[in-house]
Each structure stands twice: as C-alpha cells, then as structure tokens.
Amino acid sequence: MTERVVVITGASSGIGAALAMQLAGRRDSPVLVARRADALQRVADRCGRRAKAIPADMTRRDDVARVVAETLAAVGRIDVWINNVGQGITRMPSQLTDEDVDEVMRVNVKSALYGMQEVLPHFQDRAAGHVINVSSMLGRIPYAIPRSVYCGAKHFLNALTATFREEVQQTHPGIQFSLVSPGLVYTNFGFNAMHGGPDSRAFPNGQTAEAVAAVIAGVIDSREPDMYTRAGQRDQVLDYYGTMGKDPA
C-alpha cells in the first residue's frame, strides 16, 4: 500500500494527536493542523520526519485555504482530509444565548464545511479523495441535556456529510465522504467545553483516544461511509428512533 497524505485537523491533542501517531507508525504522511503551534509541533516531532505541522484556525476560511495550499506546495497532493475540530458546551437548552449557538456552530459545523469545500477542487482534479468527518453519538441520540446545541451541531454535520456525498458522487464517484461517531472519549473534551464542564474521564464506559483513532485509521482503509467506534452503538441508535413518533390513526 502506498503511503497516503492525510490532513488531520484538531491534531494538537486527543483523537487527532493519537491518529497522527498511528498513521505515522504505519508509514502514512500526516499533516497536522491546529491553532496551538507549540503543542502541534510537539505532536509532529513525536510522529517523526513524515509529519508536517501547519498552525491554523479551521474556523477561518482563509486559514483552511492556506492549509490546502501549503500542503500541496510541500508534498504535492492530499489523499485524505479529516475534519476533527470540535468543542462542547455546558448549558441547558432553556438558557442558551445567541452567542452560544453561533460559536458552537462555527466550531463544529463551519470548520468542517470549510474543509470539505476548500479541499474539494483538488479531489475533483484527481477524481479521487476521501473526507472523514468526526461526529459524535450525540449527533445521533441527544441524550446529554446540557450539550443540547452541540447535539444539534453534530446532527447538522451528519446531514451535511450525507448530502455532500450525494452531490459529489453524482459526478465524481471516486471521492468518498465518511462519518465517524464516537461516544464518550477520555480526553480533555469536558474541561474544554464552553462554560466549563466535568472531566470526561470521570464517567464510565468511555474509550481512549487511541481506540477511536484506530477506528478512524480503519475507515481510511475501508472507505466505509458511516462508522461507529464501538460495538452496540448502531443498535442503540436504532432502538432510540424505533420508539419515537406515532403514525396517524
């Protein structure tokens, strides 16, 4: 298998950093993107000479376009683009402000939209490419009340992924758009939530960032359009929607 050039956003810690390490270990070439330049470079150094770090803010379209341009200038192509930027929020839905909603959508939806739109011309020129959007089980089942607008943002991302796939594959069937939906992951996600939050590691039945990264690495190989990160999650989603709604009499 030839080495792939894989752009990973949100790569300075958590799932993104774990994925970069795994891909470098199997001789892919990760391009690491995040706002925190020092932390990003430390991850790149751990990955070795195959890795490249590009500090950028993926909620700014001009930064996203720059990442595409710098990657192509440095290595000549992009094979896989992984939208992994995300941030939670801790606020009950009845208390949400305009600013809360705008910020959560900006971070969780617009960053992915910009990534898909800016890398698409390169993929179309090659008639090949792969976008992987990292969503959440909260984008399937909105069971965390204080995360209400985050749930909505991930639902939005799910729909955007599916409709992007349908549009692009009408003319470019070699371009894939995949969705990966982790559940609880033992990272700093809780600490980093808007308005603060509990430590994600304090809850049971979570996964390590490395376990989720291994699933994403598998999706790079399989190009599956939709993947959960642990057994039983799909059945949970089917059970949830199977009990909702009622047909008219």
Cα–Cα–Cα angle for 246, 248, 249, rounded to 5 degrees: 115
Long-range contacts of 166-171 (CB under 8 A, 24+ apart): 168/120, 168/124
The DSSP line for 113-155 is HHHHHHHHHHHHHHT-EEEEEE--GGGT----GGGHHHHHHHH
| Residue 12 bridge partners (DSSP) | none
Is 150 an active-site residue? yes
Catalytic residue among 150, 228, 240, 241: 150
Helix, strand, coil abundance in the chain, percent, nearest 5: 50, 15, 35
201 class by beta-carbon count within 10 Å (0-12 exposed, 13-18 middle, 19+ buried) = middle
Return all residues near 69 (Cβ < 8 A) that are at least 6 apart.
none
**Taking the CB of residue 193, how many other CB atoms lie within 10 A of it?**
20
Residue 87 exposure: Cα atoms within 13 Å on the Cβ side = 19
* Residues carrying an active site annotation: 150
